[in-house]
Structure 1
Amino acid sequence: MKKLFILCLAAGFLAVAWAMPASAADTSCKTKYPIILAHGMGFISTEVYPNSFPGIVEALRARGATVYITNVESLGATREKAEQFKTGFLQIKATDGSAKFNIMGHSHGGLYTRDAITNLGLAPNVASLTTVDSPHRGSVLAGVMNLINNVAPMIGNLIAGFIPFPGDQSKLAINIQQLTPNYMNNTFNPNCPNAAGVYYQSWTGQYKVYNLFSTTAHFLIMLVQALTGTSSTPSTPQEYVAAFNKVLPDLATEIFFLGGGFNDGLVPVNSAKWGTFLGVQSGNWFTKGVNHIDVVNLSPNGAPFDVVGYWVKVVQNLKNKGY
């Protein structure tokens, strides 16, 4: 009798377990429309960094999002990159079949996608554009570099060498010129209004500490190294990222004291605002702040805030808005 009772009890547990639904998959980022990511200036896809959103892509997909990644030239004019993005966008659309997509662009990726949406006919197929640390109103740093390039090209080339952007260096000057406040405010923006029916939003990172003394010392050291031929040029993806990450605090200080205000090392906060502004990420209280590559999880030392978690939150909010 006791054995029969145990058998019945076991059978009951099995029946209950069988009837219970399997653990539901996480679909918190399963947006109505697929996501297309667009990288910024200076990125080249490699085996080490196949895309400029490491960890972010995987986290979004793990939560149900359909995510595609596009690639354009590392350096070049905004329209040139917009045309390349359009080609990739249409290839994705032909394969996926969705009527619309959510585009998310980092840095220059927020500008050439704007151009493609408004001026290259993509608007009917775009539900939303999220830009991250994109210089919608230009950067004072680009303005200064462009001025030096025009007045003293040799000095401009020397200074440009301090900022390691891989890619076709013959296209660096036009890339910088088109990121100046003058060009963005007087040429690009008037000719690239928001497209009707597309939801625009943005967010950015910023430094909290701007040390003029250390920045001056660092630039003097780099200048001496450049003049004496003792400076080193990055040769691997990891070295490029490390070198770029190292110089960002000094660039942030330069922008700040040139009147650009709080910034991420390249882009002032006020320039990054476009459409609905989601706010500024400045990191944990004990950090110096969030820089231009922290926001896409490329920092070799790890981001000073939960960058992956924040991207997840942004996409979840897109889903909740019906996109």
Structure 2
Amino acid sequence: MRKFILGTCLSFACLIGTSYAATAPEQVTSKFQTTYAKTQYPIVFSHGMSGFIRIGTDPLGVDYWYQILPDLARNGANVWASRVSPFNSSEIRGEQLLHQVEEVIALTGSPKVNLIGHSHGGPTIRYVAGVRPELVASMTAIGAPHQGSPVSDFILKIRDTAPILETPIVAVVNLLSKAIIWAQGLDPVSFPHDSLAGANSLSLAGSAIFNQKYPIGVPQNSCSEGLYREQGIYNYSFTGIGTVTNPLDVDSALKITSLLIDGGQENDGLVSRCSAKFGKTIRDDLNWNHLDEVNQVLGLKSVFAPDPVSMYRQHANRLKQQGL
């Protein structure tokens, strides 16, 4: 049993298929200060590509959802952080998440969950809703590339231009994927790693194919809103369009990748404002870059931007008010 900064963490093993065991959700609990974020259904978070739950141990450990989950727990939410392969296809990650959602439901007795996904976590939660919609009360996508990301296409173009680079690059990124799992105290062999499948999933063409299979909440027209409620599931999204939001923050490097997207206009460094459109748009003009959206790195952001921790708390209250 591992300790979070503000509570305890419960870890259970779940078997996905018959090929490997993946780490199941971790619950954050603490003494409620308010019930402001106490939703009817548990909230399950899904991290993005190269993501994790927590790397390192106290006092130097870092949560992916930096300070967000403990704050929600203090305000009454039943919050779970899921762990899937850092690099793999949307379908593989989605199947991993599905088994963890089923476990949360078994453990809590709740018939449904609220899903929140950042970046590649957006398509990941959409897979769960696509195959088991009865288990999902709502989906919220943050900075998620529903229409794909030109950054993935750029990487694949390099591969096509110089095929000799494919094997070494894929090997290096897969090694990084394994290192992320190892840094969480887990066996890297227990997770499948396929960085090329991840890049294909988030390409423009790969995303279009995925959208045809799992269309819930996806806009019918470019840069428009998707359906707010579909198959009984409420859909929301918000995203940033900033890049260099704090000169002291290392994520300012996202300015470089932002130039690959619409000439550097209206994107968070990896995902365009239009690609992030999903369901009901809460905000699509936040002065956040792709890492600010999960309060990284270590909470550094623009002093003129909304506090991510507060924004997630307000969204949990929004779900609560909706009866979710």
TM class, shorter-length: 0.7 to 0.9
TM-superposed CA distance for 1:155, in Å, is 5.4
| Same amino acid, percent of matched pairs | 28
Matched with 1:287 is none
Matched with 2:311 is 310
Q: Does 1:249 align with 2:261?
A: no
TM-superposed CA distance for 1:246, in Å, is 4.6
C-alpha distance in structure 1 between counterparts of 2:252 and 2:169, whole Å: 15
SS of 2:238's partner is strand
Q: Does 1:200 align with 2:235?
A: yes
Matched with 2:295 is 297
User: Given that residues 35 and 68 in structure 1 are in contact (C-alpha distance below 8 angstroms), is that contact kept between their aligned partners in structure 2?
Assistant: yes
Matched with 1:149 is 159
Q: In structure 2, do the counterparts of structure 1 residues 107 and 83 end up closer, same or farther at CA, with 3 Å as the change threshold? A: same
User: Given that residues 75 and 168 in structure 1 are in contact (C-alpha distance below 8 angstroms), is that contact kept between their aligned partners in structure 2?
Assistant: no
Q: Between Structure 1 and Structure 2, which shows a larger proportion of strand residues?
A: 2
C-alpha distance in structure 2 between counterparts of 1:116 and 1:256, whole Å: 30
Q: Does 1:166 align with 2:180?
A: no
TM-superposed CA distance for 1:124, in Å, is 0.7
Matched with 2:279 is 275
User: Given that residues 139 and 268 in structure 1 are in contact (C-alpha distance below 8 angstroms), is that contact kept between their aligned partners in structure 2?
Assistant: yes
User: Given that residues 52 and 296 in structure 1 are in contact (C-alpha distance below 8 angstroms), is that contact kept between their aligned partners in structure 2?
Assistant: yes
SS of 2:55's partner is coil
TM (norm. structure 2) is 0.72
C-alpha distance in structure 1 between counterparts of 2:266 and 2:129, whole Å: 29
C-alpha distance in structure 2 between counterparts of 1:92 and 1:168, whole Å: 25
Matched with 2:210 is 188
Structure with greater Cα Rg: 1
TM-superposed CA distance for 1:209, in Å, is 6.6
User: Aligned partner of 1:197: which letter?
Assistant: G
Q: Which stretch of structure 1 is more off in the superposition, 146-155 or 130-139? A: 146-155
Q: Does 1:47 align with 2:44?
A: no
TM (norm. structure 1) is 0.72
Q: In structure 2, do the counterparts of structure 1 residues 295 and 77 end up closer, same or farther at CA, with 3 Å as the change threshold? A: same
User: Aligned partner of 1:316: which letter?
Assistant: N
Of residues 153, 164, 178 in structure 1, which corresponds to 2:201?
178
User: Given that residues 244 and 252 in structure 2 are in contact (C-alpha distance below 8 angstroms), is that contact kept between their aligned partners in structure 1?
Assistant: no
SS of 1:271's partner is coil
Q: Between Structure 1 and Structure 2, which shows a larger proportion of helix residues?
A: 1
Q: Deviations over 1:124-151 (max 9, x none)?
A: 1210000100000001111121122123
C-alpha distance in structure 1 between counterparts of 2:260 and 2:169, whole Å: 13
SS of 1:199's partner is strand
Question: Matches of residues 1-323 of structure 1 in structure 2 within 5 Å?
Answer: 25-44=33-52, 45-48=54-57, 49=61, 51-119=63-131, 121=132, 123-154=133-164, 166-168=176-178, 171-185=194-208, 187-194=209-216, 196-207=231-242, 245-257=251-263, 261-283=265-287, 290-300=288-298, 302-304=300-302, 305=305, 306-323=307-324
TM-superposed CA distance for 1:256, in Å, is 3.5
C-alpha distance in structure 2 between counterparts of 1:106 and 1:309, whole Å: 16
Ranges in structure 1 where 5+ consecutive residues have no aligned partner: 1-23, 211-241, 284-289
User: Given that residues 244 and 254 in structure 2 are in contact (C-alpha distance below 8 angstroms), is that contact kept between their aligned partners in structure 1?
Assistant: no
Give the aligned length: 257
TM-superposed CA distance for 1:300, in Å, is 3.9
User: Given that residues 51 and 69 in structure 1 are in contact (C-alpha distance below 8 angstroms), is that contact kept between their aligned partners in structure 2?
Assistant: no
C-alpha distance in structure 1 between counterparts of 2:174 and 2:102, whole Å: 32
Q: In structure 2, do the counterparts of structure 1 residues 160 and 171 end up closer, same or farther at CA, with 3 Å as the change threshold? A: closer
User: Given that residues 243 and 258 in structure 2 are in contact (C-alpha distance below 8 angstroms), is that contact kept between their aligned partners in structure 1?
Assistant: no
Ranges in structure 2 where 5+ consecutive residues have no aligned partner: 1-31, 180-192, 217-229
C-alpha distance in structure 1 between counterparts of 2:174 and 2:291, whole Å: 13
User: Aligned partner of 1:179: which letter?
Assistant: L
Q: Deviations over 1:23-77 (max 9, x none)?
A: x941111111111111110013422556411210011111111101110011111
Q: Which runs of 4+ in 1 moved over 4 A?
A: 154-165
